Chains A and B, each alone.
Chain A
């Protein structure tokens, strides 16, 4: 159990560019969540996967955002045509989901995106 990892840790991009983030969950955790945290705020739910299926998306996830988990292991979050309002910390969380909601969601270190 090596924990949840995210790559890159920091990303600076210019407005209008596309960016992609990667999350590697704890192995054998079948649920993976993406959250967004803006400065001075708590994390907000974006989307989650059960294995490779994307089961729910927040209204915060505009059409410019897309997430995948092709083999039920790692996940990617892509933002197209970035805007300055996309600047935030993007957090990934891993959840066993095998027993109940009492299981803990384990968070990665996050990817901090700055859009200039």
Chain B
């Protein structure tokens, strides 16, 4: 079975500051990992994904994440926060089984202060 833990249900940063959203996973097999963003009353939009290969993954809107197998982590970062980054962020794992159902973390709400 797999699970995803996102530390910090709410994160607040100032505009221009570093964004760090934490994600730890557990999986019995090498997983595929995803970060999605959700704006109010909207569906989920893919930010980035790790499948195989390079462990530092770059996504849209200046976000990137690093897969660290030894730490079972896939933290999301952005060097400089914009007001438009305020949203809910979800880390998800695909266990690469027959069904490929995603297991999501509880989400982190990012607030950006002017």
Contacts and interface: CB of A to CB of B under 8 A. Distances in A.
A55 B99 contact: yes
Interface of B: 4, 9, 32, 34, 36, 41-46, 49, 51-52, 90, 92, 94, 96, 98-107
A108 B96 contact: no
Contacts of B49: 102, 104
Given A102-B32, A104-B49, A107-B36, A43 B41 contact: no
A82 to B, nearest CB: 21
B104 A43 contact: yes
Nearest to A31: B100
A110 B100 contact: no
Contacts of A43: 44, 90, 102, 104
B102 A45 contact: yes
